[in-house]
């Protein structure tokens, strides 16, 4: 490291305590015996020379208590801070879903909802909605609408179900494959599922994170079986349960018993897109070479 002489004193002067103080102050330094018979303390930054000399003089004069002057240790980050650092994309998706559910619940004049739906609309008497064409909406450059419906949730159970599975699947992928991978999966499977749902149902109100959930499931399942890399650990039997639920929803039974309309096209498209992205990532994955014997 660069060396700037800060202190020269006779050999035998005990500097260990003063050195600990300097490290506590984050002052990089080292101590050595010089050929001229002196003990030298050098610092890495020239701007530290004067403060170190002043502190050393005060310490020798009894004006500085090194124990009291050392900074208190920084508190360890709390559980929320650690969780946010580990999986920010997952938590951001959940928070945006909560915000979307609040908008659906409290935006009675539909002013915010109009800007988040897949296409613009105008309210009609009797609670009906007249949706604008895709060409008219996207000709204005409102491309955020390709994604924003995934954050709209129609009821507490809808929000709770999707948030639970986003937490379970999203955080596993984010920790194992990184923040950008999860962000790309959310955007691509979300937008793809929304497009598929619009092509299937046309101008109706739809939303929810379910297409993304199935996309994450498809990605993780294919990655585990093709990549040869450390697996994305999934709860046992999850794929079978989720596929069973998908088929049950597609049968129309869930909607018939009063659970409301189900965005089946978004679910299926999300699953297919996630599986394709998992296959592409697995094929591109480069495993480290085996160690030579």
What is the tens place of the pLDDT at every residue in 79-113? 677 777 888 999 999 999 999 999 999 988 888 99
Active site residue 210: yes
- Mean pLDDT is lowest, of 19-33, 62-76, 167-181, 182-196, for 62-76
Architecture of the 86-284 domain:
Up-down Bundle (1.20)
Considering the four listed CATH numbers 3.30.70, 1.10.287, 1.10.10, 3.30.930, the one that applies to the domain covering 4-69 is 3.30.70
Question: pTM of the entire structure?
Answer: 0.69
CA 145 to the chain's CA centroid: 21
pLDDT classification of 241: cutoffs 50, 70, 90: confident
pLDDT score at 71: 54
Q: How confident is the model at residue 53 (pLDDT cuts 50, 70, 90)?
A: very high
Residue 278 is encoded by which pair of tokens? 């998992």
Residue 264: per-residue pLDDT: 83
Q: Tell me what pLDDT residue 76 has.
A: 55
pLDDT attached to residue 148: 95
Q: Which residues, other chains included, contact 194 with Cβ-Cβ below 8 Å and sequence gap of 6+?
A: 118, 146, 147, 149, 150, 206, 211, 266
Q: Is the per-residue pLDDT at 1 higher than 60?
A: no
Token pair recorded at residue 38: 């002196």
Across the beta sheet with 38-43, the strand order is 4-10, 38-43, 29-33
In the chain, where the domains are located: 4-69, 86-284
Rounded Cα distance between 110 and 163, Å, is 24
Among 29, 153, 158, 267, the active-site one is 267
The catalytic residue among 210, 227, 251, 286 is: 210
């Amino acid at each position: 490291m660069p060396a700037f002489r800060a202190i020269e004193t006779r050999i035998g002067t005990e500097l260990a305590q003063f050195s600990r103080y300097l490290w506590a102050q984050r002052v990089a330094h080292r101590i050595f015996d010089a050929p001229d018979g002196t003990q030298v303390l050098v610092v890495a930054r020239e701007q530290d020379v004067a403060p170190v000399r002043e502190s050393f003089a005060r310490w020798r004069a009894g004006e500085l208590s090194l124990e009291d002057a050392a900074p208190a240790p920084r508190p360890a980050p709390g559980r929320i801070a650690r969780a946010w650092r580990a999986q920010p994309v997952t938590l951001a998706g959940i928070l945006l879903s909560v915000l979307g559910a609040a908008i659906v619940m409290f935006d009675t004049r539909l002013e915010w909802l109009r800007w988040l739906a897949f296409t613009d609309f105008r309210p009609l008497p009797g609670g009906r909605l007249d949706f604008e064409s895709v060409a008219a909406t996207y000709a204005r450059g409102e491309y955020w609408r390709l994604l924003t419906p995934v954050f709209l949730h129609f009821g507490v159970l809808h929000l709770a179900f999707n948030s639970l599975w986003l937490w379970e699947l999203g955080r596993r992928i984010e920790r194992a494959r990184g923040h950008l991978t999860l962000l790309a999966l959310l955007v691509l499977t979300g937008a793809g599922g929304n497009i598929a749902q619009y092509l299937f149902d046309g101008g109706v109100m739809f939303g929810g994170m379910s297409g993304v959930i199935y996309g994450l499931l498809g990605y993780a399942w294919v990655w585990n079986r093709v990549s040869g890399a450390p697996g994305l650990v999934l709860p046992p039997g999850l794929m079978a349960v989720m596929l069973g639920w998908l088929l049950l929803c597609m049968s129309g039974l869930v909607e018939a018993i009063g659970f409301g309309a189900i965005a089946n096209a978004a679910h299926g498209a999300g699953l297919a897109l996630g599986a394709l992205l998992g296959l592409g990532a697995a094929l591109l994955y480069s495993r480290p070479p085996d160690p030579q014997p």
